[in-house]
Structure 1
Amino acid sequence: MEVIKVVPRGYCKGVINAILIAKKTAQEHPDTPIYVLGMLVHNSYVMQALKELHIYPVDDKNKTRLELLDEIEEGIVIFTAHGISPAVKEKALRKGLQCVDASCPDVVKTQDIVMEQLKNGCDVLYIGKPRHPEAEAVLSLSEKVHLISTQQDLDTLPPLAQVFVTNQTTMSIFDIEALFEAIRERYPKAVFCEEICNATRIRQQAVADLKDKQIDVLYVVGDRYSNNSNRLAQIARDQGIHQVYLIDDVNDIQDEQLCNAGRVAVTSGASTPTYLTAQVIAYLEDYAPGKCKPQIRLSEILS
């Protein structure tokens, strides 16, 4: 069985930056309660490893960041890589919390662009995923920011004089283009600023390029809450790869998935620890039915 290691894969610069910030905060404040407002990055193993450093997530998928702040009474709050709204920062400071911002620079750039266009009098059409923290932060900036995730969302909008269009950084390059076309038809004078981050773009293109490589099975190593990991899996399916599996780790690989597989490819999301992906690759390169899976050591996750 041939194993194709898709390049690039694994941590992007924004995730690396967020993890370094969290580790540094723990080292500098060993006696202070430290909390993460949500998931620092969308990977449960990373969050488990952070708990080992006494950094605790405050997360509830049914609550906004503003609501989650009510659960933190003291100490340090780390804002996640997905960005944060000014209202959340202001509330945290009013509560007397020490704030540490681990926002990805690409996400901050998008927020700054949106703020500038709002000041120019534009309505902003923001292509993103409902309830995703990055989208939540941008939508909180103004009632003139409208979330567009489907064609139906676009159909509900009234006529708008000045329209600026941008997007969540981890969206699919293919989905974005389809919605851009629909917006162009509805608002011919709209101004577009495609803000898919480069890490997302090149990972998605690398998966799309597998189309003609006769791949029997593709494993995407990533968390089910990771939008970019889910999009990698969907792009692979759209390109005609029939067996695509989004897996947390090597333990999710099943013998029946590999029956008669000649070529197996492996990629991973931008928030997936390299350690987990390396385990998957090593297991597949020496694969035999019934082979024992390696132990996962939390101490290796943040290295």
Structure 2
Amino acid sequence: MKVYQVIPRGYCKGVIQAIEIAKKQAYQDDIYILGMIVHNQYIVDALENLGIKTIDKKGASREELLDLVDQGTVIITAHGASEQVINKARKKNLNVIDATCPDVIKTHDLIKRYLDKKIEILYIGKSGHPESEGALSIDSKHIHLIETKKDIDNLNPNLVYVITNQTTMSLYDVYDLCEYAKTVLKNITIAKETCQATTIRQEAIAKINDDVDVVFIVGDPHSNNTQKLASISSNKANKTTYMIESVNDITLEMLKDKKVAAVSSGASTPTYLTNQVINYLKQFNYHDTSTYIKPNIDLNKIL
């Protein structure tokens, strides 16, 4: 099978930094991560093998997760956390290690600067996502989550606003919402914060080769940037697209009558997993059952 390896893809600098910070705590006592260090279960499992425990509970905020830790060290994930979370951890006499992505910190700093000027913040993001949670908790009264145009319609048009966003959002969705906001609100400043890694990965997917008849986006279903890559491939590039966690998710039905595949991956997807997908597709022949055999996944190679 012919395979295009979409470039760039995979790990961004924030993910690399977070993983390296976590790995330095390997085999020490009472090391906890508040939520998934990055949104990839294979990375979480590989860190567990190093004695680094992930504390996660569906629907629980980072502040609530701290109630499950009584001693030791907590690592703040790449998605960031509010000052309330860090202060609570220190009040519990926990050691705090911050693995927040530099681009997320940059967005937080931008939000704080505009809040100091008494300007309302519109934050384009995903409800319940830890990055959005961290940003919104800076000032829940004056930061407004924007997911749809309806959220903009419900605002007071006479106030002064700045609009920014979760770093992993679709740059096309952010553009549309920003353009719409300019037609509804009288006084608004645009301060888009889609990180460079997200932007160039999304642009590469949107410009995918015409002869591609199936696209595989490798990544965890929790990963917003992976979801956005799949959405852009499907809706903007108009390609048959599958979001998969690993080579094990590829089925024969996905490959039936397909001759040319393209592969990309989310910013928190291990290169090892993506390479397994690429190599499997390269050797795959629908008419040769010996090419159906998939490789085993070795957790020791994830990190």
- Classify the secondary structure of the residue corresponding to 1:8: coil
Deviation at 1:32, TM superposition (A): 2.0
Separation of aligned partners in 2, 1:25 and 1:123: 39
Query: What's the counterpart of residue 299 of structure 2?
Result: 298
Pair 1:266 & 2:263 matched: yes
Deviation at 1:182, TM superposition (A): 1.2
Pair 1:222 & 2:219 matched: yes
Spell out, residue by residue over 1:20-41, the C-alpha distance to the aligned partner (whole angstroms, 9 max, x if none).
Answer: 0000122xxx442000001000
Deviation at 1:160, TM superposition (A): 4.2
CA change 1:31–1:168 in 2 (3 A) is: closer
The question of whether the paired residues in 1 share the 8 Å contact of 2:157 and 2:186 is answered with no
- Classify the secondary structure of the residue corresponding to 2:232: helix
| Counterpart residue identity of residue 189, structure 2 | V
**Aligned partner of 1:286 among 267, 283, 293:** 283
Aligned length: 298
Pair 1:5 & 2:2 matched: no
Query: What's the counterpart of residue 104 of structure 2?
Result: 107
Separation of aligned partners in 2, 1:87 and 1:98: 15
Query: What's the counterpart of residue 161 of structure 2?
Result: 163
Give the TM-score of the pair, scaled to structure 2: 0.96
The question of whether the paired residues in 2 share the 8 Å contact of 1:151 and 1:182 is answered with yes
CA change 1:151–1:294 in 2 (3 A) is: same
Separation of aligned partners in 2, 1:213 and 1:62: 41
Separation of aligned partners in 2, 1:242 and 1:270: 21
Separation of aligned partners in 2, 1:196 and 1:240: 20
Task: Give the alignment of 1:102-181 within 5 angstroms.
Answer: 102-142=99-139, 143-181=141-179
Separation of aligned partners in 1, 2:237 and 2:170: 16
Indicate the percent of aligned positions where both proteins have the same amino acid.
Answer: 48
Query: What's the counterpart of residue 200 of structure 2?
Result: 202
Separation of aligned partners in 2, 1:162 and 1:260: 55
- Classify the secondary structure of the residue corresponding to 2:178: helix
Query: What's the counterpart of residue 98 of structure 1?
Result: 95
Compare 257-266 and 271-280 and name the one that shifted more: 257-266
The question of whether the paired residues in 2 share the 8 Å contact of 1:49 and 1:301 is answered with yes
Deviation at 1:88, TM superposition (A): 0.3
Separation of aligned partners in 1, 2:214 and 2:186: 42
Query: What's the counterpart of residue 257 of structure 1?
Result: 254
Task: Give the alignment of 1:55-70 within 5 angstroms.
Answer: 55-70=52-67
What are the ranges of 5 or more consecutive residues in structure 1 without an aligned counterpart?
none
Deviation at 1:259, TM superposition (A): 1.4
CA change 1:159–1:240 in 2 (3 A) is: closer
Separation of aligned partners in 2, 1:172 and 1:31: 38
- Classify the secondary structure of the residue corresponding to 2:25: helix
CA change 1:31–1:50 in 2 (3 A) is: closer
Q: CA RMSD in A?
A: 1.1
CA change 1:124–1:268 in 2 (3 A) is: same
| Counterpart residue identity of residue 202, structure 1 | I
- Classify the secondary structure of the residue corresponding to 1:190: strand
Separation of aligned partners in 2, 1:153 and 1:252: 36
What are the ranges of 5 or more consecutive residues in structure 2 without an aligned counterpart?
none
| Counterpart residue identity of residue 298, structure 2 | R
Pair 1:51 & 2:52 matched: no
Spell out, residue by residue over 1:214-264, the C-alpha distance to the aligned partner (whole angstroms, 9 max, x if none).
Answer: 211000000000000000000011124342000000011111211121210
CA change 1:287–1:52 in 2 (3 A) is: same
Separation of aligned partners in 1, 2:236 and 2:168: 19
The question of whether the paired residues in 2 share the 8 Å contact of 1:5 and 1:281 is answered with yes
The question of whether the paired residues in 2 share the 8 Å contact of 1:215 and 1:241 is answered with no
- Classify the secondary structure of the residue corresponding to 2:24: helix
Show structure 1 runs of 4+ deviating over 3 A: none
